[in-house]
Amino acid sequence: MSTIRGWFKLNLGDFHLDAEFEAPGRGVTSLFGPSGSGKTTLLRCIAGLERASNSYLEVNGELWQDDLRSLFLPTHLRPIGYVFQEPGLFPHLTVRENLEYGFKRTPIDRRRIMPEQTIDWLGLASLLHRHPPSLSGGERQRVAIGRALLTSPRLLLMDEPLAALDAASKMEIFPYLEKLHVEMPMPVLYVTHSMDEVARLADHMLAIEGGRIVAAGPLSETLTRLDWPLARGDEAGTVVDAVVAGHDNQYHLTYLDFSGGRLAVPQRVTSTGATVRVRLLAREVILSIEPPLEAGIPNIFITNVVEILDISPAMTIVRLDAGGAPLLARVLRKTVAELGLQRGMWVSAQIKSVELMS
């Protein structure tokens, strides 16, 4: 039963949380929504920091909360790691003491993640004797991540860990977050309102709005379901995990292959065979009913129209199937009429620019 399942009902003045969800018990699930949608509140409920009544939570087969049975595990007994938006380091303790605060309180037989390995992994060795007020924002957040990991959590909760950082510090933290779900065994619930972070980090997504879960599922599916709100926004698009196929040194390009075909992006120092994540924005896709001049041209794909939905009097979103990979195109409603687009038609889709995420 590798799953995180629960429901929470909570009234906070004008705001009502009424969220029922299920997420896989591994990998990174992003809890995505606009400010005030209740994503932080939901995360706090999962941590037991907010006492929701009539609620239920089960993490990989362990029951943490079931109000029907009057079961409520208080926060300090839940095997979680929690990274807050602001690092929240204890100013009276050194970096090492901060890191070991949770580790010391973790039962010995449950310790899987060790201090030296974590210090090494996050590059904290030179900071150990310093006090938090003397650290930079990025350093503090690295310590906070290490401190949370050192409780060997069975569920890692991250509440917008990058939101309070400047651009440079964000770039400092990103590589660690990207490595996190590859190298760490526990599931991660990652709260964010940034589609960019979702696209880079998440495998799975729970979208929340007005205290309710409005979309849930594997990332590419959630992003492209037209009956869910994400496909209708300005940032609509898909995420594709592609394999580096080779480099073109003359034009400084890197070729990436995925099930729909071949992508070309500005050259990156990446070894052939590596998997990288790219984001294909719906507004960057141009549709045409003319077949491409020749097969195999990068960034042009033969696709099948799956679904067409008008999202405004002027704009239409089209869901395409590119060799099994879903693709979204946002075009003028007029274009749809002129091309006579219909479900089941074959069209060629050209992607103007591809965003390489990792």
Partner 1 sequence: MLIATLFEPPMWLTLRLAATTTLVLLLIGTPIAWWLSRTSAWFKAPIEALVALPLVLPPTVLGFYLLVALGSRGPIGAALRALGQEPLAFSFSGLVIGSVIYSLPFVVQPLQSAFESVGRRPLEVAATLGASPLDRFFTVAVPLARRAFLAAATLGFAHTMGEFGVVLMIGGNIPGKTQVLSIAIYDHVEMMQYAQAHTLAAGLLVFSFIVLLLVYGFNRRLQALHP
Nearer to partner 1, 90 or 346 (CB): 90
For partner 1, the binding residue among 30, 37, 151, 254 (CB under 8 A) is 151
If one asks whether residue 47 binds partner 1 (CB under 8 A), the answer comes out as yes
Residue with tokens 């990156």: 268
Binding mask 130-149 for partner 1 (x = CB under 8 A): -x-x-------------xx-
Q: Cβ distance 191 to 34 under 8 Å?
A: no
Task: Write out the H or E segment, with its range, that includes residue 139.
Answer: helix 137-149
Q: Give yes or no for residue 343 binding partner 1 (CB under 8 A).
A: no
Round to whole Å and give the CA distance between 321 and 236.
Answer: 16
Which span (52-60, 86-94, 177-185, 287-295) binds partner 1, by CB under 8 A?
86-94
Is 88 a binding residue for partner 1 by CB under 8 A? The answer is: yes
Helix or strand (DSSP H, E) at 192:
strand 188-192
CA R_g for the chain: 23
Cβ nearer to partner 1, comparing 157 with 213: 157
Six-digit token pair at 235?
A: 């940032």
Q: Decide: is 313 part of the binding site for partner 1 (CB under 8 A).
A: no
**Of the residues 6, 102, 115, 261, which one makes contact with partner 1 according to CB under 8 A:** 102
If the CB atoms of residues 75 and 288 are measured against partner 1, the closer one turns out to be: 75
Helices (H), 158-307: 167-183, 195-201, 219-224
Residue from 2, 54, 75, 126 touching partner 1 (CB under 8 A): that is 75
Tell me which H or E stretch contains 335: helix 333-339
Angle at 283 (CA atoms; ends 228, 350), nearest 5 degrees: 115
Among 53, 326, 19, which residue's Cα sits nearest to residue 189? Answer: 19
Of the candidates 1, 69, 92, 109, which one interacts with partner 1 according to CB under 8 A? 92
Asked if 11 touches partner 1 (CB under 8 A), the answer is: no
Q: Are the CB atoms for 188 and 27 separated by under 8 Å?
A: yes
Q: How far is the CB of 49 from partner 1 (least distance, A)?
A: 6
Residue ranges in contact with partner 1 by CB under 8 A: 47, 49, 74-77, 80-82, 84, 86, 88, 90-92, 101-102, 105-106, 131, 133, 147-148, 151, 157
